[in-house]
Structure 1
Amino acid sequence: MTKGQSPSIVYIGCSDSRVAADTLFGKGPGSIFMHRNVANTIPEDDLETATVIQYAIEGLGIRDIVVSGHTYCGGIDAVLQNYDGLGQPIKRWLSPVNDIYQENKSYIDGLSDPYLKNRALSQLNVLNVVRKINNMESVVNARNNSIPINVYALLYLVENGTFVDLEASS
């Protein structure tokens, strides 16, 4: 551990304490370069996530990026249940998720079960984050230089401890 790290993947996920990526993937310390935040989202001006991705690619030589949302996400529920009543800075942070919700409102609101609404918005959020990562300068530059960068979209099911592949990998 003192000689440095050699992670094989970057994990972009939620801060939720029920979702410990290293444990869920069966990996030990130093094997996953993790970046976690509320609702695993990426605002348009998110310098922190862009820096994490760039350092992972250029500094650590990582080629695989995993984006994972999860069921029963509190950040997703905040958007679904009370976005307009949220205070700052959480409202600003969750604005990309709210944008996705507004774009898909008729579909999501048409679901009768709150679990299904949360799951649907979580999945759409993951797909949006994958799109943003694929358009990041460090990812585009690596691919333009024939460095394969793989981005995977997953949803962690808290209820049974499994991952679902959203089949949007690139």
Structure 2
Amino acid sequence: MRPLLLAVFVTVLGCAARQPGAVIPPQTQTSDAPVTARPEHERSSSMTESPDVELIPLTMEPVYFELDSTTLMPAFRDSLTQLADALRKRPEARVSITGHTCELGTTEYNLALGQRRASVVRDYLRRLGVESSRLSTLSYGEERPLSATVLEKNRRAEVQWLH
């Protein structure tokens, strides 16, 4: 009974109403241009060392979440599937997944929510065949906002390539 009361208490105090009509703007667009192979004599030395480096996206848009939610929205599943494909093509690559929240809620609640968001992305990639040893998670809670005015931008998980 006590954990249930704690969950209700945290939910009531840690959440505020979502702003009606708020839209999450798209981040930078990535190119869908096909990768073409160059003849061996035209490749740079860095390409010769790792020819599949062109297959790995260097950046990925954040995965956004609704207020007080850890549900992965369908709009982000395609980009995560592409990420999983890229990771399978480059088995030495590793990624860090960071969870973030808006400023609403207590620090403790937001750190836990950020961790759950990062874990949702990690678990989705694991279901797509990426080994868990190549995925690390960390929560920043509300500590690294993208926007001070558009709270929806802060409710996210970000994926960074580790070299």
Scaled by the length of structure 2, the TM-score of the pair is 0.39
Which protein has the larger Cα radius of gyration, Structure 1 or Structure 2? Answer: 2
Structure having the larger proportion of residues in strand = 1
